[in-house]
């Protein structure tokens, strides 16, 4: 699996966001031979070859995570990375951070799945999500494509709601219980998470 994440111009901030993202999922990001984070201002062909070399080494645990955090990937480097990303085994997960996805060639872009990772100033906190209009909520959740990311997002909303529940009216508490049941059902099944996200967008109480 290969993910695309657009950052806001600060590659160090993007790297920190990835570390937090992995740790939230139980992946130790530091001193872990199965987590490789490459940070470049611009990825060259030589850099791409080194990434390919490192990706070829067998992972120790069940999954290997390889991140390319950069402001730009040269066209030649994109060509060099294409086969590596295409042929990577299921247990190797790539994360490609770039400032502007329109600079990526269509052949590379078509191999990437967009993923939202919370960075400072990027995405909404749980409290900010409460303030969004229904249209804004639906638009926001439509951008969450990864199943684990969707379930984690809903879990955080539930945790936020449970902290506020003493202040809520009975009707809102009933809705909260319903969403909690829905989250647990989707977590244990293979149902598409699109329906769950839309359910949260529609029913999650504003206050």
Q: Delimit the domains of the chain by residue range.
A: 2-114, 126-203
Residue 165: predicted pLDDT: 60
Alpha-carbon gap, residue 207 to 205, rounded angstroms: 5
Report strand pairing: 92-98 vs 2-6. parallel
134-141 and 193-203 helices cross at what angle (nearest 10)? 160
For tokens 């684990």, the residue is: 148
Q: b or e along 80-96 (b: 16 or more beta carbons within 10 Å of the residue's beta carbon)?
A: bbeebbeebeeebbbbb
3-class DSSP assignment, residue 99: coil
Cβ 99 vs Cβ 72: under 8 Å: yes
Residue 120: predicted pLDDT: 45
Alpha-carbon gap, residue 46 to 15, rounded angstroms: 21
Residue 137: predicted pLDDT: 86
Averaged pLDDT score across all residues of the chain: 83
In which residue ranges of the chain is pLDDT below 70? 9, 118-127, 164-171, 207
Task: Strand 64-73: give its sheet, edge to edge.
Answer: 35-43, 64-73, 92-98, 2-6, 113-114
For tokens 């909404």, the residue is: 124
Structure tokens at 170: 């009975």
Residue 164: predicted pLDDT: 66
Residue 10: predicted pLDDT: 75
What architecture does CATH give domain 2-114?
3-Layer(aba) Sandwich (3.40)
């Amino acid at each position: 699996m290969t993910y695309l994440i657009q950052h806001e111009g600060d590659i160090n901030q993007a790297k920190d966001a990835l570390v937090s993202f992995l740790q939230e999922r139980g992946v130790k990001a530091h001193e872990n031979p199965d987590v490789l984070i490459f940070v470049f201002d611009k990825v060259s062909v030589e850099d791409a070859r080194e990434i390919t070399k490192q990706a070829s080494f067998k992972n120790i645990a069940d999954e290997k995570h390889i991140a390319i955090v950069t402001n730009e990937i040269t066209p030649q480097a994109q060509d060099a990375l294409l086969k590596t990303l295409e042929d990577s085994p299921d247990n190797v997960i790539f994360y490609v951070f770039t400032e502007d996805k329109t600079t990526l060639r269509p052949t590379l872009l078509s191999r990437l799945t967009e993923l939202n990772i919370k960075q400072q100033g990027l995405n909404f906190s749980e409290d900010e999500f409460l303030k969004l209009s229904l249209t804004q909520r639906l638009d926001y959740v439509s951008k969450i494509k990864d199943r684990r990311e969707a379930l984690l997002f809903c879990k955080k909303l539930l945790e936020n709601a449970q902290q506020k529940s003493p202040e809520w009216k009975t009707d809102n508490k009933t809705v909260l219980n319903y969403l909690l049941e829905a989250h647990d059902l989707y977590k244990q099944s293979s149902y598409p998470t699109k329906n769950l996200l839309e359910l949260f967008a529609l029913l999650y109480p504003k206050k």
